[in-house]
Structure 1
Amino acid sequence: MQSSDLLYGLNDSPSALPTMTAAIQHLLASFVGIITPTLVIASTLELEQYTPFLISMALFASGVGTAIQTKRIGPVGSGLVAIQGTSFAFISALILAGSKVKAEGGSAEDILALLFGLTMAGAMIEVVFSLFINRLKRIITPLTTGIVITAIGLSLINVGMTDLAGGFHAKDFANTDNLLVGLSVLLVIVFLNASTNHWLRLSAIFIGMACGTLYVFLTSGLDFSHLSDLPVFALPTPFRFGLDFDISLFLPIALIYLFSAIETAGDLTANSLFCKEPVSGPVYFRRVQGGILGDGVNSFIAGALNTFPNTTFGQNNGVIQLTGIASRKVGLVVAALFFFIGLFPSVGGMLQTIPKPVLGGATLVMFAMVAVGGLKLLAHYALDRRSSLVTACSLGMAIGVMMVPEALSQLPSWLENILLSPVTSAGITAVFLDLTLPKQLSETEFETKTKQRSKTPLTSSNVIGAKSP
């Protein structure tokens, strides 16, 4: 045991039952996040006939990426339980690109060919960025990564709370029953996680969601009608739709990849923090470099497998924090589960029946824990006046674009797409201010040096302006 908060460390090998229990909780925490971007893009661009296949490929690619990140193949991968999934950050840019093809009379296959071509081309931005990570220590600092982690958590809380109330466009949104179910699931998870019993703690998320789903099934019933429309088996078919490219649509996606790399650095820092691994020094930077390289490689693979850009998920850091299990063995089991679900869409369809309020109650606490992880990282380093200004401005921008996205409506569409992401807005602000604000003494250092000077005898050599006798 590395800590009272950590039941199994990175290199530990828990037995089958705790391993599978933790793996299922990782899967439940990330499943909706993986399929939602695909559902949004397919629905907006009217690609419904390919939606089941695209979802299956998204899950299959997540399994490939998670295995690479966890196992670390050569320099590729972080070696942490870093779950990979389809990134929300690219949704607007991909819809913009697809809409242009659609407006020009392109078919569904033409749209998908362009989207997957842009996905693979943009992935190389992240690959190249990772090669210079050790020279960019001025950018990836505890201050900037702490801010990015906090922004990630804050941005995800909106998703968790929306699900708790019933989900986007739900007819019964904010219904009292939804709120009671979601809050009940949340409280079950919190109180079980606070238990001194290790089994209750590591099973808290699973038990909470199972109880919530069973309650809804007994009182309102669950809808399984969508299962009849799903194919029994989905075989991965690389480059099924071909590839296309448009340089005018590439820039926004390239920039998002760049800031997605910084977001990944934040996620991996939080992951290291929860795993009781170093968050500075050569081991830490090697993990971050491998993780960002892994994101790029995995996104390239995702494009080849007919799905959208992948990234390291932040919400699973909350699962590590709540379960106390950081073992790589769990990550490999999660990857295998994604392989399985990707091959059999009906399994994924069953998981889709979990009621939104149940998912919201579980994810809300996990997302909030991610934000707390960022705050803990910031609190670990004394915040002087300069750092406080950087933090305040960065988080202010993140919260601002979440609350008033219309403030960006007059910007060029590509810039609006980038800045609409709270994580990107916070990251850009943090990096810019951290690089440009003058370095000054922290208040603590200033007080220490002032006290030292007050104890020093006044002589001609240490008094400013003193003259020789």
Structure 2
Amino acid sequence: MQPDSDSSSELIYGLNDRPKPLAALLAALQHVLASFVGIITPPLVIGSTLGLTAHLPYLISMALMVSGVGTFIQARRPFGIGAGMICLQGTSFAFLGAVLSAGFLVKQRGGSPEDILAMVFGVCFFGALVQIVLSRFIGQLRRVVTPLVTGIVITLIGISLIKVGITDLGGGFNAPDFGAPGNLALGVFVLLTIILLNRSNTPWIRLSAIIVGLLLGSLAAWFSGKLIPQPLPDLPLVSFPTPFKFGFSFDWTAFLPVALIYLISTIETVGDLTANCMLARQPISGPSYISRLRGGVLGDGVSCMIAATFSAFPNTTFAQNNGVIQLTGVASRYVGLYIGVILFCLGLFPLIGAVLQQIPKPVLGGATLVMFGAVAAAGVRILAQSPLDRRSMLIIATSFGVGLGIAAQPNLLHLLPKLVQNLFDSAITSGGLTAIFLCLLLPEGKTAAAKSPAPLNKIEQA
């Protein structure tokens, strides 16, 4: 089928064009290549940090499988669920801090790995309801959670996660050889490789920078003796999803930080969908635009609920896939159906996860350090595009002061009720709630309101 007649010359296939199967498959594979590492890295980080090694192959399989289902729903848009565009769903980095906090809460109580997963997926399941409800109030929500608040929270998310990346680069939590020169050399090698490849003028090299960095880092670890391939565990050839495989539990102290991140994730998704509409030559105002936003955010929420049901961490619409649309000139939503099927098929084979979990911590840390730093940098970019008047600077300074201050000195709250401690000992929640409170408390000047930017593209995930 020929492209839409009203499509820009930059688009080879418009939103509703049907590319031939081979063209659609090739475009879909590029999207999968751009997102694959981003989908599997959060389960790897969470699993290794919380001691869930035995369950990692299954968690990675479910992450890929659920990403495929969510992407298919976004493209197909059944019953108005989804944006009807290429909105690749992948495991969200934004939730790492809140998920790790919930996991450590259970771990401190003496819970088993299964108890940790039951709690994490329980609070994430109910958290998805927050996003589903918010999808009905997109217009009002964007007046409360402004780009200023979003920029503050995203910056705090990145800063909080950098600790995880640098710890892995040194060898991992409680590693007997933590900080060994060999570990640091591996991590820095991966870091420099990714930086150099990202400086290339060739789009394909930039898209594959993280994959190449991990591959070269793993090879270097193998030659240096840091990576000793282990026999693959006795896993079934095909992994079938099981609802609530690890049980189901709930705790308000673990839920509230997760609910706040769902709120922020909703705002980020609005920005990403707006950018997607622009690339696909669709309206960015009016009823059809609002309908796409509502359907897209609802699709995110439904995808997250499916994820929690089938043992995958919360999903979000990946921003970097907008770059693939721009590079390929293919905006056809039918390509999203191909992407969904490919990701689902990859998730069927748990041996993929078993191989990936053998990546040494320093290698993984070198890559995640770039990713988490990119999250913080994206937050700074959003802040830089906001009108930085006296009011904004006061809100930024106070939010960063409260969030980073409490994170640096968690004993500050040890005499307060446990609920307060667990809610505010995270830089993300304490700083984010401070930003929302101050934005509501301090009225915005008319001049600043007139200069407020349009919805911003969301964080660039690896």
TM-score normalized with structure 2 length: 0.75
Which amino acid is 1:81 matched to?
Answer: L
Aligned CA distance change for structure 1 residues 417 and 64 (closer, same or farther; 3 Å): farther
Structure 1 residue 112 displacement after superposition: 7.0
SS of the equivalent of 2:233 reads: helix
Gaps of 5+ in 2: 1-9, 451-462
Q: Identify which of 87, 91, 113 aligns with 1:84.
A: 91
Seq. identity, %: 39
Output the CA distance in 1 between the equivalents of 2:58 and 2:211. Answer: 28
- Matches for 1:200-215 after TM superposition, within 5 Å: 200-215=205-220
Distance change >3 Å, CA 439–CA 263, structure 1 → 2: closer
Which residue matches 1:33?
A: 42
CA change 1:252–1:146 in 2 (3 A) is same
- Inter-partner Cα distance in structure 2 for 1:10 and 1:410: 59
2:348 maps to 343
Aligned residue in 2 for 1:420 = 425
The CA deviation at 1:384 is: 0.5
Return the letter of the residue paired with 1:32: T
Which digits, 9 at most, give the CA deviation of each residue in 1:353-401, with x for residues without a partner?
A: 2222222222222322222222222222321100111112222333223
- CA shift, 1:125, in A, is 3.1
Tell me, what secondary structure is at the counterpart of 1:312?
strand
Match of 1:450 in 2: none
Aligned to 2:73: 68
Q: Which moved more, 1:344-353 or 1:395-404?
A: 395-404
- Partner of 2:260 in structure 1? 259
Matched, 1:147 2:152: yes
Q: How does 1:14-413 map to 2 (within 5 A)?
A: 20=29, 23-37=32-46, 43=52, 53=58, 56-69=61-74, 72-77=77-82, 79=85, 80-85=87-92, 87-88=95-96, 89-93=98-102, 96=105, 119-220=124-225, 222-225=227-230, 227-240=232-245, 249-268=250-269, 271=272, 277=278, 289-305=294-310, 307=311, 310-312=314-316, 317=319, 335-336=340-341, 338-413=343-418
Consecutive unaligned residues in structure 1, runs of 5 or more: 1-5, 446-469
Pairwise CA distance, 1:442: 5.7
* Rounded Cα–Cα distance in structure 1 between residues aligned with 2:231 and 2:92: 23
Query: What is the number of residues matched between the two proteins?
Result: 425
Whether the 8 Å CA contact 2:69–2:344 is kept in 1: the answer is yes
Pair 77,414 (structure 1): closer, same or farther in 2 beyond 3 Å: farther
TM-aligned CA deviation for residue 436 of structure 1: 0.5
Note closer, same or farther for the CA distance 1:42–1:414 as it changes in structure 2 (3 Å cut): farther
Whole-angstrom distance in 1 between the partners of 2:376 and 2:259: 22
| Rounded Cα–Cα distance in structure 2 between residues aligned with 1:371 and 1:108 | 30
Cα distance in 1 for partners of 2:149, 2:42 equals: 25
Q: Is the 8 A contact 1:66 1:332 kept in 2?
A: yes
Q: Which residue of 2 aligns with 1:438?
A: 443
Change (3 A) 1:241 1:159: closer
Structure of larger gyration radius? 1
**Paired residue secondary structure (1:227):** coil
Query: 1:30 is matched by which residue type in structure 2?
Result: I
Of the structure 1 ranges 272-281 and 213-222, higher mean CA displacement relative to structure 2 is found in 272-281
Q: Work out whether residues 35 and 55 of structure 1, in 8 Å CA contact, stay in contact via their aligned partners in 2.
A: yes
User: Structure 1 152/184 Cα, relative in aligned 2: closer, same or farther at 3 Å?
Assistant: same
1:312-341 deviation per Cα after TM superposition (whole angstroms, max 9, x unaligned):
28xx64687799759678876665554344
Structure 1 residues 286, 251: closer, same or farther in 2, change over 3 A?
farther
**Root mean square deviation, CA, Å:** 4.2
